[in-house]
């Protein structure tokens, strides 16, 4: 296992955490110029106007930490790394405009697609093969480019979809990217290690003010670029042999499975999938009477379990990897049944 400079391991994350904590607190202040409010509606889970620019604190603090690490020469940015960071910055700027003025859904989607195409075509970030236990790497040929774009757009948007409960997206970012940083360190990939570690630290500082009852939300300015980074680092890690694609999919499965299953269910029912709703599994638990705190604590437990399963998969034999994937399927089968049982008890 490689050793990185103390700046990247200890000093920068500590600075990021403290700066994020301080800046998030400032953004909660009604006198802040960036005090943009999210007003409750029939599709939201909160009942009072709440600031929604907390993602700025996460990204700006992570950017400061990343800059400090660059100065220490721990990371040498490659072309694909710069494309990822550039696209992330564009998405953050556009998403802030969406939080501030509101942008049409189609325009937002087009920008998300353009960002994905940019890193795929410009940076060469392409998912060329998918690893399957006992089958090895299955190359996907000419569909690799559109599949990668679709994957990046879906990871970008699902993170945004799942940012609807106090402490949820902040917790997934803190825990998920912390484990992703471990994989970057273990495989000797400094860009993944540094990017994931500063994001995790930034989310930890933000979470102090976002844990139920939340004083501030992440907003699109945070959830959209962070979702894009989760997808980009997943593809980058597989391309650079740091891990295969199942590792980040298992790691971020609390978001991936809920968002994907909900989209499939709503599409099957003929609902307008581009409209906001309250039918994600986590939303259904909150509405069934569990509340934000209890639901998010259970979700944290699920995140930790999935992090452990991702580590087991990464270091396992093919039989163990297959067992991990079966375990993940069983876990989410249990989650779906559990949510339905909770709802039945409420109705009865």
> Rounded distance, CA 337 to CA 178, Å?
29
In our burial notation (b when 16+ CB lie closer than 10 A, e otherwise), range 247-270 reads: bbbbbbbbbbbbbeebbeebeeee
Give residue limits of the domains in the chain: 6-252
> Rounded distance, CA 285 to CA 298, Å?
10
The alpha carbon of residue 339 and the mean position of all alpha carbons in its chain are separated, in whole angstroms, by 23
The alpha carbon of residue 241 and the mean position of all alpha carbons in its chain are separated, in whole angstroms, by 21
Question: What pLDDT digit, counting tens, does each position of 262-321 carry?
Answer: 999 999 999 888 787 889 999 999 999 999 999 999 999 999 999 999 999 999 999 999
Question: What pLDDT digit, counting tens, does each position of 89-145 carry?
Answer: 999 999 999 999 999 999 999 999 999 999 999 999 999 999 888 888 899 999 999
Q: What percent of the chain has pLDDT over 90?
A: 81
Task: Name the binding residues for Mg(2+).
Answer: 160, 220
In contact, 160 and 217? CB cutoff 8 Å: no
212 token code pair = 């139920």
pTM, two decimals, is 0.94
Would you give the end-to-end CA distance of the chain in angstroms? 55
Q: Detail the DSSP E strand segments found in the chain.
A: 37-38, 50-51, 129-132, 136-139
Task: Name the binding residues.
Answer: 160, 220
Question: What pLDDT digit, counting tens, does each position of 218-267 carry?
Answer: 999 999 999 999 999 999 999 999 999 999 999 999 999 999 999 999 99
């Amino acid at each position: 296992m490689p050793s990185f400079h103390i700046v990247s391991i200890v000093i920068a994350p500590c600075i990021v955490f403290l700066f994020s904590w301080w800046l998030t607190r400032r953004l909660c202040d009604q006198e802040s110029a960036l005090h943009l409010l999210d007003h409750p509606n029939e599709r939201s889970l909160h009942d009072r106007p709440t600031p929604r620019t907390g993602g700025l604190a996460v990204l700006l603090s992570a950017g400061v930490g990343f800059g400090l690490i660059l100065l220490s020469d721990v990371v040498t940015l490659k072309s694909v790394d710069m494309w990822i960071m550039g696209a992330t910055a564009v998405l953050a700027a556009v998403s802030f405009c969406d939080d501030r003025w509101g942008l049409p859904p189609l325009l937002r989607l087009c920008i998300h697609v353009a960002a994905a195409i940019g890193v795929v075509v410009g940076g060469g970030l392409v998912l060329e093969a998918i690893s399957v236990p006992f089958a090895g790497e299955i190359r996907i040929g000419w569909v690799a480019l559109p599949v990668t774009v679709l994957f990046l757009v879906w990871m970008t948007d699902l993170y945004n979809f799942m940012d609807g409960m106090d402490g949820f997206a902040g917790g997934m970012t803190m825990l998920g990217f912390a484990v992703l940083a471990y994989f970057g360190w273990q495989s000797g990939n400094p860009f993944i290690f540094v990017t994931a570690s500063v994001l995790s630290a930034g989310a930890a500082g933000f979470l102090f003010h976002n844990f139920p009852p939340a004083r501030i939300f992440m907003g699109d300015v945070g959830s959209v670029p962070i979702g894009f980074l989760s997808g980009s680092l997943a593809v980058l890690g597989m391309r650079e042999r740091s891990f295969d694609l199942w590792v980040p999919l298992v790691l971020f499965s609390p978001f991936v499975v809920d968002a994907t299953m909900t989209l499939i269910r709503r599409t099957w029912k003929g609902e307008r999938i581009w409209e906001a709703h309250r039918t994600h599994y986590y939303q259904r638990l909150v509405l069934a009477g569990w509340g934000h705190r209890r639901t998010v604590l259970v979700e944290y437990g699920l995140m930790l379990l999935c992090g452990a399963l991702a580590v087991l998969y990464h270091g396992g034999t093919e039989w163990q990897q297959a067992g991990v994937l079966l375990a993940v399927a069983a876990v989410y089968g249990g989650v779906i049944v559990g949510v339905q049982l909770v709802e039945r008890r409420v109705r009865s």
